[in-house]
């Protein structure tokens, strides 16, 4: 699968360890996970062709009377969730727990694709709700041009 490098991170930095998030239109603390998140947003925009307006960052989710936040939700051009992404810091191993986390979020979101990344490793799968099946992908899916 095409790699999302945590080294290609940000075009703009401000003083004090903050970065400008183009989706949220504000400066945010530039911790390791945030750097992976920003690198992923850059990848989605520049290499996959996702318009910035169709990328939601830290999208609030209500699940079982609790509040959660999905790192990134990518929508198709009709506004339907296309992919949900969970980002971890580069030193965090991607485990079944990480995948379970994004899968739980997807029960609310209903995206076709799931991605987990730490900037070094990426795992992407396609969901098939009708057959209750997940298929891991060898490459990043093509963004729909509707």
pLDDT digits (tens, 9 = 90+) for 78-122: 999 999 999 999 999 999 999 988 988 888 888 999 999 999 999
> At 22, is the pLDDT very low, low, confident or very high (cuts 50, 70, 90)?
confident
- CATH classification of 13-136, choosing from 3.30.70, 3.90.1570, 1.10.10, 3.30.1450? 3.90.1570
Asked if pLDDT for residue 15 goes beyond 60, the answer is no
Question: What pLDDT shows up at residue 9?
Answer: 39
Tell me the average pLDDT across 6-26: 59
Q: For the chain, which residues make up each domain, given as ranges?
A: 13-136
Neighbouring-strand partners of residue 85: 72, 115
Tell me the average pLDDT across 16-20: 75
Q: Virtual CA dihedral for 117, 123, 129, 133, nearest 10 degrees?
A: -150
Question: What pLDDT shows up at residue 63?
Answer: 67
Question: What pLDDT shows up at residue 132?
Answer: 76
Asked if pLDDT for residue 7 goes beyond 80, the answer is no
pLDDT digits (tens, 9 = 90+) for 90-102: 999 999 999 988 9
pTM to 2 decimal places: 0.81
Closest to 22 in 3D by CA, of 5, 32, 10: 10
The rounded mean pLDDT for the chain is 82
User: Lowest-confidence range among 1-15, 31-45, 70-84?
Assistant: 1-15
Encode 72-106: b = buried (16+ Cβ within 10 Å), e = exposed: bbbbbeeeebbbbbbbbebeeebeeebbebbbebb
Q: Report the percentage of the chain scoring pLDDT > 70.
A: 87
């Amino acid at each position: 699968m095409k790699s999302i490098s945590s080294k290609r991170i940000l075009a703009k930095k401000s003083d004090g360890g903050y970065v400008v998030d183009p989706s949220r239109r504000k400066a945010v603390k530039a911790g390791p996970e945030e750097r992976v998140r920003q690198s992923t947003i850059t990848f989605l925009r520049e290499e996959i062709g996702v318009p910035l307006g169709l990328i939601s960052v830290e999208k609030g989710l209500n699940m079982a009377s609790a509040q959660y936040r999905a790192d990134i939700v990518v929508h198709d051009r009709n506004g339907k969730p296309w992919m949900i992404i969970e980002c971890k810091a580069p030193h965090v191993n991607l485990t079944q727990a990480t995948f379970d986390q994004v899968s739980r979020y997807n029960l609310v979101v209903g995206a076709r694709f799931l991605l987990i990344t730490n900037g070094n490793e990426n795992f992407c799968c396609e969901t098939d709700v009708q057959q209750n099946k997940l298929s891991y992908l060898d490459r990043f899916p093509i963004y729909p041009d509707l």
